[in-house]
Amino acid sequence: MTPAATELATATNEHLAGISNTLVYSAMAVYTLAFFAYIAEWLFGSRSKVARTAAALTAQEGTAQGGAKAAPAVAVRSAGGTTVLERPEVVVRSAAGARDVPDGPGAHGGDAQGDLYGRIAVSLTVLAFLVELCGVVARAASVQRAPWGNMYEFNITFSTVAVGVYVTLLALKKNVRWLGLFLTTTVLLDLGLAVTVLYTASDQLVPALHSYWLYIHVSTAIFCGAVLYVGAVATLLYLFKDSYESKLQSGGRPGTFATSVLERLPASASLDKFAYRVNAAVFPLWTFTIIAGAIWAESAWGRYWGWDPKETWAFITWVAYACYLHARSTAGWKGRKAAYIALIAFGCWLFNYYGVNLFVGGKHSYAGV
């Protein structure tokens, strides 16, 4: 390649890197608009239709105090006439083991105005996702490699995949729009950290990272983290909603703000079940991620496992989620106890994501961060 061609290639790479930065900043701007649209959905959604939990628990309390609720009769015809039998009342207990309450109507509160703001918010979220995805692709094109060679690239790719998981669930007709406000908030924080503290200029990789395992191992780690994040948000909201339902059931009166927000979320049992299914579904892939990392380590460093800080915390995270899944299948450890383990497990993943790279040295530390 001639010197002129080399200069042109370098200029083209810098140009693509600049386009990537512009797209990432543009995505942040659109995410901010989506954030305000989600806020509008919560604020202007009808509050007159969000008393389902309280009404259900009040009805249960009335039944407990006034005796068994009258069950509808069943007419059975026979040759000699008609015999009337009493239908036994069937009670289905929640996954958390306590209450049977309906899901909330959502952030829009069940009215057209709130639903309009919610649809606008989702549309802006999809637009921001597409813009950020283009930014990630431009970053990859600027260096002709996978766009996760340092913490900055990992952050922008991770937030893109997290939003992609949310958009995919919506496309599959899953009722997860309640995730939108929490998702855009954390994505903005993640991108803000990426462009201010973690930003690294486009550069080539160290020799150890020139492997096809970079595409396999790191991509699965990013996807697993995005799905585990969704599960962690659902788990945290479950704890709040379960406390709210418990307070109502015991005769307490939550504050107006708590009522207007928590009444619109799915029931605690639904949130608990959603979080469990998400974490259980991605756990095998996280297991594969660790195995793939070990195989890559043997190829790059001549050993499968060396208790490097990143390897160690990846294994600790695996053990924590294994304990959570085991707890969910063990009598007496469903509900809040298992939820606490799930949050501890995600905390381990976060430390592996940020803490190890920023505060602990090791073979996995490249380009400063």
pLDDT at site 72: 45
pLDDT band at 359 (very low <50, low <70, confident <90, very high): confident
From the CA atom positions of the chain, what is the Rg in Å?
A: 25
pLDDT at site 305: 80
Amino acid, single-letter form, for residue 30: V
Instruction: Decide if pLDDT at 206 tops 60.
Output: yes
Section 149-153 average pLDDT:
86
More reliable by pLDDT, 240 or 211 = 240
C-alpha to C-alpha distance for 170 and 179, rounded to whole angstroms:
10
Tens of pLDDT along 52-76? 666 666 555 554 444 444 444 444 4
Section 89-116 average pLDDT:
68
Tens of pLDDT along 157-196? 999 999 999 999 999 888 899 999 999 999 999 999 999 9
Mean pLDDT of all residues belonging to the chain: 81
C-alpha to C-alpha distance for 202 and 191, rounded to whole angstroms:
17
pLDDT band at 15 (very low <50, low <70, confident <90, very high): confident
Collapsing DSSP to helix, strand or coil, 85 comes out as: strand
43 close to 121: Cβ distance less than 8 angstroms: no
pLDDT at site 281: 95
